[in-house]
Amino acid sequence: MKLSYYLPTGTTHEFAGYTDPIAAFAKLLDLAKVADEAGFTTIWAPDHFIPFGPAGSYVFEAWTTLAALAREVGTARLGQLVTGNGYRNPALLAKMASNLGVVSGGRLTFGIGAGWYEDEYKAFGYDFPGPGERLRRLEEALQIIQALWTGNPATFDGRYFRTDGAVSRPTGVQVPHPPVMIAGGGEKVTLRLVAMYGDLCNVQEPPDEVHRKYEILARHCETAGRDFSEITKTSTSYCIIADTDEEARAAVPPWAPLVFPGVLADYGLIGTIDTIRKRLDGYRAAGVDELIVGFGNALDTDTLRTFANEFITT
């Protein structure tokens, strides 16, 4: 199982103590470089504009952040966890992804989802339709994006989006296109979209539920005539390393239920090194190919190095 890094961009108030945005971004860049040197497979940036909870702390936008990292981080892949489909026109997203693929030398994994953080949509003036419409919009966007990645004129007349002979060149350097991660565990629609359009899925659930969702994805793949083994199965977890399990559990942040279903302390990478090792085995047994890890002590590079020394074999 590969281990990847969830880059703290400010969504959980990591930069609340900073008054200089340049210094804050320098810290973010330092974290990314350490994660790269430590052997994390991919550096994933969340696509949010405001922090969870009270506004005011710095939050760095995902796409421009990754473009900067692409020239500073030399080995790790780069991706969004995940782009909110409602925030950008899909034809523009296709162009942005092609460009970032070139800038990164072919290290982009394109992450996308239907979007979920309603407060953010409202704050920035975006429409926030119901889940069914958001998923229909996502499917149209995926069709447009993959059409533009061919480099040929793309014409699409959908219910929500349209293009008229749009051409995106350069198309990027990955063949046939950047791998596409589709995030979400919706059993009827989201996992069907993974089977039809995705190269990776991301299911953010406890390991037993992750395994069950993968089984549903396998059935969608069978219906779509897709080889289930072609899809990289990913999940996301959160790590707090402490001398005792009790100490680690006490440090679980109050915002955890907003993004991690269930009781995070019962299944996340929360505890001593030995406990975390067992929890990693649980994700591995669930069928996870790549686990994306965020850290409680988010700005501490020593935590990254400790985790990598214990759990990443290079």
The span from the CA of 49 to the CA of 13, in Å, is: 12
Can you give the pLDDT at residue 314? 55
- Range 2-311 classified under CATH 3.40.50.11540: no
Q: In this structure, what is the dihedral angle of CA atoms 81, 83, 85, 88, given to the nearest 10 degrees?
A: 170
Q: Tens digit of pLDDT per residue, the chain (314 long)?
A: 999 999 999 999 999 989 999 999 999 999 999 999 999 999 999 999 999 988 889 999 999 999 999 999 999 999 999 999 999 999 999 999 999 999 999 999 999 999 999 999 999 999 999 999 999 999 999 999 999 999 999 999 999 999 999 999 999 899 999 999 999 999 999 999 999 999 999 999 999 999 999 999 999 999 999 999 999 999 999 999 999 999 999 999 998 998 899 999 999 999 999 999 999 999 999 999 999 999 999 999 999 999 999 999 75
* Domain regions of the chain by residue span: 2-311
In order, the DSSP letters of 36-99 are HHHT-SEEEE---SS-SSSS-S----HHHHHHHHHTT--SSEEEES-EEGGGS-HHHHHHHHHH
Q: Alpha carbon 288 to chain centroid distance?
A: 15
Q: What is the 3-state secondary structure (H, E, C) of 164-202?
A: EEECCCCCCCCCCCCCEEEECCCCCCHHHHHHHHCCEEE
